Chains A and B, each alone.
Chain A
Amino acid sequence: MKVRTMGRHLREGSRNITRNGWMSFASMSSVAITLFILGVFLLLALNVNHIANVVERQVEIRVFVKQGVEKVEVDKLAEKLKDFSQVESVTFIPKEEGLENFKKSFGDKAYWFEGLEKENPLSDEFVVKTKDPVETEMVAERIKNLPYVESVNYAKDMIKKLFTITTMIRNVGIGFIVALAFTAMFLIANTIKLTIVARRREIEIMKLVGATNSFIRWPFFIEGLLMGGLGSVVPILLLLLGYRYLIDLVQVDLNLYFLDLLPLNPLAWQLSVLLMGIGAFIGVWGSMMSVRRFLKV
């Protein structure tokens, strides 16, 4: 194809959008609405996933050291814990500190335990976090068998439940997004199809005048690309403004610090690129699928 013909296709494709005024508007609106809904669910799913991650991160193993073990042996044990490839961090809590924390938890009744320091009943303790929270159980079982370890505590049942729930939330989220993406595709393709069916006669005429299939297809390709891309601009803007407002609301006005939302910065770019990409893809796909049916003249 010659360069001037490509230029002609670009011009023709964009002109078709204005030529078909209302039809183009309908297609772009359908792109905009479906992408907006998809975007809302995407933001929701990403944040739920993020919160699940944060909660999972809080899973830890408490390792209690046997009473009366030498300081050197305790240090050796610390080294061994750090040597696990799955372990991310090891924090040592000496029994004195443990007692302090314990007393503090009783507030002004702490004096009940005065004098306990001389005969501290608590053990030295390690708090271990694994890199991947799913490995908690396996690591904990192995730590249990190390020398000088009295016992380990890692809320076995709670972790199992937590993972069932977070996995379920993630799967439901992915399923929902996929289903929504397909619905969006179907809806948009259908609207675009309508605009092209209306142009069936035009396509036939072009063919009778001697246009090749690709000559006819190119402007439709450009048109689909532009409509999908342009149709994604409004929902992207709305979603980003809305999300920024939500972040402010949650963190400043409502003081919901525990609701840890994903920050706007990388998310805004990712969401924009993703939605625009989906829009352009669906636009091109819908427009190509529809033209194909009428090219056999």
Chain B
Amino acid sequence: MIEMLDVWKTYPNGTNALEGINVKIEKGEFVYVVGPSGAGKSTFIKLMYREEKPTKGTILLNGFNISKLKERQIPKVRRSIGVVFQDYKLLPKMNVYENVAFAMEVVEATKKQTKPRVLEMLELVKLKNKLRSYPSELSGGEQQRVSIARALVNSPGTIIADEPTGNLDPETSWEIMRIFEEINLRGTTVVMATHNREIVNTLRKRVIAIEGGRIARDQQRGEYGYEG
């Protein structure tokens, strides 16, 4: 469960990215976050795993008050969610396998558990043939898929994805969506910011539209609603 109560975010340079967000996402929901670029989608998402802190307001995530969280508890919260970052955030000196395995080392999984699970995830995102490649040797789409595999590897209860299909061809995009849909059916909460009109309009889910830092529309089985 994710809940935001009157959340404001002003960046140090004075940009008002979010202005009074109130939203509630129940466990097991599938939510698209749409809106023009610069609207505040990424900021909205970053607040959930505390890459950014709200300037004002309360954020609740799986029972934790994120805005009042003690430094020591942050890792615990972050482990309970899987994040697909818009800029991938892969460790540059680790290869594909190591990057995905890293998320399992963090939770102190055994080697026996780690290896098959990491390979399974890489199979899922079709990167099993690039195990030993480094991020700098991969295309944007491939890096995005590694980021997806890493977000899924610990089977978290919540997946938060910032434009996870932004760099993928339509076919791969649909495969990723099929994965999200499947884990969502098994109870995982999915929140994804996206620009992909076709996906939003085809695979109908709840749509939250952000414009100028405010929620402009919040609709079950909504449409993308923008041109292009």
Contacts and interface: CB of A to CB of B under 8 A. Distances in A.
A209 B110 CA distance: 18
Contact of B90 (A1, A205, A212): A205
Consensus secondary structure, chain A interface: helix
Given A4-B111, A210-B78, A205 B91 contact: yes
A202 interface: yes
B78 A208 contact: yes
B51 interface: yes
A209 B93 contact: no
A161 B105 CA distance: 67
Interface string B84-127: 01000111110000000011011110110000000000000000
B79 interface: yes
B78 A202 contact: no
Contact of A4 (B72, B83, B106, B110): B110
Contacts, number: 53
A215 interface: yes
B91 A206 contact: yes
A13 to B, nearest CB: 13
A215 B93 contact: no
Interface residues of A, number: 21
A202 B79 contact: no
B102 A209 contact: yes
A209 B92 contact: no
A2 interface: yes
A19 interface: yes
A82 interface: no
Given A19-B93, A202-B91, A202-B92, A210 B75 contact: yes
Contacts of A244: none
A20 B93 contact: yes
B49 interface: yes
Interface string A177-212: 000000000000000000000000110011111111
16 contacts: A1-B108, A4-B110, A5-B105, A16-B93, A20-B93, A207-B74, A207-B78, A208-B78, A208-B83, A208-B89, A209-B102, A209-B103, A211-B106, A212-B72, A215-B75, A296-B71
Closest 7 CB pairs of A and B: A210-B78, A210-B79, A19-B93, A212-B75, A205-B89, A211-B106, A210-B75
Interface of A: 1-2, 4-5, 8, 16, 19-20, 201-202, 205-212, 215, 296-297
